[in-house]
Structure 1
Amino acid sequence: MVIGHAWEPLRGANIGGRLLEAAQTFIYAFHLPAFIVMCGYFSRGFPTTRGRTRKLVAAIVVPYVLFSVAYPLWAGMLSGDHVGWDPLEPYYLTWFLPALLLWRLSTPLWQQIRLPVVVAVLISMLAGFVTLPSTLNAAQVLSFLPFFVLGLVLRPHHFEILHRRAVRVAGAAVLLLGGLTAYLLALSVDPEWVHWRRSFGQLGVGASAGLGFRVVAMAAALVLTVAFLAVVPARRTWFTRLGSATMYAYLLHGFVTLYLSYQDWYYGISGEQVLLVTVGCALLAVVLSGEPARRAFRWAVEPRMDWLFRAGPTRRPQSRRRPGRREITRGRRDTAGVVTGTE
């Protein structure tokens, strides 16, 4: 994700040629689908979670407001021009937060209807036929919906299958094949197909061709996501804990990649310099997922909002003393003739 955002302005300036074009298309083909599948998987208990409204506000709404203001301000400072703020028009990478909010709010629906993945796929396909408004990135919200719903229906035993050695080997082979395919198709297929933000008309194809391209893109995303999850180590490693701070890396790295995109010298790099940028982005992701970054930016990414909500009712602990004879007698005298007890 971090590397992909750093590569995007270079690819737009035709730096790196076919190799960089293929590498970025390959990453975008599955990195968001994989991320969204895991978001769906960890949202399975959302409808029954206590304080779910508070969690939505603290984990999504407040960070969205903060970063949707911060990014335009940062871009304005870099460009020297005023960049307007519209809460319904997410700027840069902040679109994912309102998308996650809408997906989680819809979770009870998907857990009630039959064939939820099939319905979500149909919605995603239909979204390609019309040019949706840019409000809250509606096109991407609907297009990526099947991956979130897929995460909702997955269970732990599904991931246990991925731990088998044969599946891991197959996953590595699929990723290599996917990279090779991206290289062969580079410069001949519009990379917008893996961004899921344009309608078929905007991409210049008819309904039937657009539907076919989207089916292929969705199938590729699913296969590559499974392959990627298969090669993820099942044992605890030094970077295991970093996985719980992906939102820090996601929301914070954009300030660096956006800075690079406004620097003239950045569009003059090539060769080994692109490789150095790639390595630097990998290190940046590690740093932003570390404990120092968490402590420094917890107020923005995971703010404590207890002060905003009223305290919930407290349950009085039940007395453990045995009831006396008079209490037992009173409990038996129920006007309906039913023994109610003393609770």
Structure 2
Amino acid sequence: MVGNSSLTARGETFFLNLRFMLIVTVFAGNAIEPLIRSLSGMHSLYLWIFSFHMPLFVLVTGYFAGKSLTGAAGRKVLLQIGLQYLIFQTLYSALDVSVFHADNIHHSFFAPYLLLWFLASHACWRLLMLGMGRWSTTAQIIFAVSAGVAVGYLQLDGVWFSISRTFVYLPFFVVGYHFSFEAFARIYNKYVKTAAAAASVLLLLLLSTFGSELPLGWLYGSMTYMQLDAPEWYAGVYRLGMYGLQLAASLAFLGWVPYRLSRMTDWGRRTLYVFLLHGFAVRLAAVSGIYAYLGNAAGAALVLLCAVSFTVLLAQPAVKRLLHPLVEPSVDWMISLQRAALRRSL
């Protein structure tokens, strides 16, 4: 029993470390986006980040969802996700109209604002897992992959209700939910981790050489085949190929993630704050015009340094104490209202 407890704690440490490393790549990827057309190095780094960071973030989310998918805990999480979505969809949309003025944004509660797709999809992944609860793990994965391929054939804009990304990334949520850290730790010993990390570097080099041929839209997962200019009946095969690339890139990146407890582990507990708040910093930087002075190697390095620094800053306990009511709003009042309504109906 002690051994299992130790392994569980080690697995949580690993995934918290991974979660922090991924939020760094999320912040960095969004921060360097204005530079990818003028700097080939930033374009390659951007491709490399998008080859694994969303699939792995969904996998980590599925892993931690295993503790709170059903029962009262599951209902509370769903209510909180819904409230977070309403709050930040309102904030980002209001600031976009008044300050950001971003292009090609649908200002509607039915079209998640940029990074908020993750909240909408997270709620859907949990509901889908509840619906698949009695299926075998194999059946769940087969359905998830099939749905991820099939959703691309819909004749609509994939951003509405975050329908495209919900199903495109569903396989990673399912895998994360059933992830066995014990089996993973047996395989990813010191030598395998070193080889995986080397493969991750090799992938970055390959993307630097051949990445210009890879359409970014396929890595976003937010567009249907129609939007990706792939009307062919066999376009689903391209999605399967993208799954292969994302799986390989994800397995390679895992070689960089330490097993040991560190300060980074603690920061990994507050990645939600970084995720929901970093968009304000990125948008403000974009509208400030500062990127006009950063179109060189030194400027790109400064952007990356700022992204890492702000990630660490937003993951501090003081930020959580200050902004907890906004980022993690209490839903106890909603639960109380539900109970009161139920009592009146009886």
TM-score, shorter chain, exceeding 0.5: yes
- 2:301 is aligned, of 275, 282, 286, to 275
> In the alignment, is residue 69 of structure 1 matched against residue 93 of structure 2?
no
Does the 8 Å contact 1:162/1:230 carry over to 2?
no
Cα separation, 2, equivalents of 1:240 and 1:102: 28
Report deviation, 1:188.
2.0
Cα separation, 1, equivalents of 2:260 and 2:100: 45
Cα separation, 2, equivalents of 1:210 and 1:159: 33
Does the 8 Å contact 1:79/1:262 carry over to 2?
yes
Does the 8 Å contact 1:161/1:167 carry over to 2?
no
Report deviation, 1:132.
3.3
Please identify, of 123-132 and 233-242, the stretch whose mean Cα deviation from structure 2 is larger.
123-132
2:259 matched residue in structure 1:
234
Give the match's secondary structure for 2:123.
Answer: helix
Question: RMSD of aligned C-alpha atoms?
Answer: 2.3
How many residues in Structure 1 have an aligned counterpart in Structure 2?
309
> In the alignment, is residue 7 of structure 1 matched against residue 28 of structure 2?
no
Q: After TM superposition, where is structure 1 displaced by more than 4 Å over at least 4 residues in a row? A: 79-85
Does the 8 Å contact 2:197/2:254 carry over to 1?
no
Report deviation, 1:71.
0.6
1:336 matched residue in structure 2:
none
Give the match's secondary structure for 1:15.
Answer: coil
1:131 matched residue in structure 2:
155
2:198 matched residue in structure 1:
173
Report deviation, 1:302.
1.3
Relative to structure 1, the CA distance from residue 159 to residue 255 in structure 2 (aligned partners, 3 Å threshold; closer, same or farther) is: same
Does the 8 Å contact 2:155/2:224 carry over to 1?
yes
Does the 8 Å contact 1:168/1:230 carry over to 2?
yes
1:286 matched residue in structure 2:
312
Does the 8 Å contact 2:293/2:299 carry over to 1?
no
Letter in structure 2 aligned against 1:299: P
**Bigger relative CO (Cα 8 Å, ≥ 6 apart):** 2
Structure with the higher helix share, 1 or 2: 2
2:48 matched residue in structure 1:
26
2:275 matched residue in structure 1:
250
Relative to structure 1, the CA distance from residue 79 to residue 51 in structure 2 (aligned partners, 3 Å threshold; closer, same or farther) is: closer
Does the 8 Å contact 1:110/1:149 carry over to 2?
no
Does the 8 Å contact 2:35/2:43 carry over to 1?
no
Per-residue CA shift, 1:206-232, capped at 9, x if unaligned? 436633332221112112222222321
Cα separation, 1, equivalents of 2:272 and 2:209: 33
Give the TM-score taking structure 1 as reference length. Answer: 0.83
Cα separation, 2, equivalents of 1:140 and 1:131: 15
Cα separation, 2, equivalents of 1:142 and 1:74: 29
Instruction: Return 5+ residue gaps in structure 2 as ranges.
Output: 1-25, 340-346
Give the match's secondary structure for 2:225.
Answer: coil
1:217 matched residue in structure 2:
242
Please identify, of 302-311 and 249-258, the stretch whose mean Cα deviation from structure 2 is larger.
302-311
> In the alignment, is residue 203 of structure 1 matched against residue 224 of structure 2?
no
Relative to structure 1, the CA distance from residue 47 to residue 269 in structure 2 (aligned partners, 3 Å threshold; closer, same or farther) is: closer
- 2:288 is aligned, of 247, 259, 263, to 263
Letter in structure 1 aligned against 2:94: L
Letter in structure 1 aligned against 2:153: F
Does the 8 Å contact 2:100/2:284 carry over to 1?
no
Larger Rg: 1
1:330 matched residue in structure 2:
none
Cα separation, 2, equivalents of 1:35 and 1:51: 21
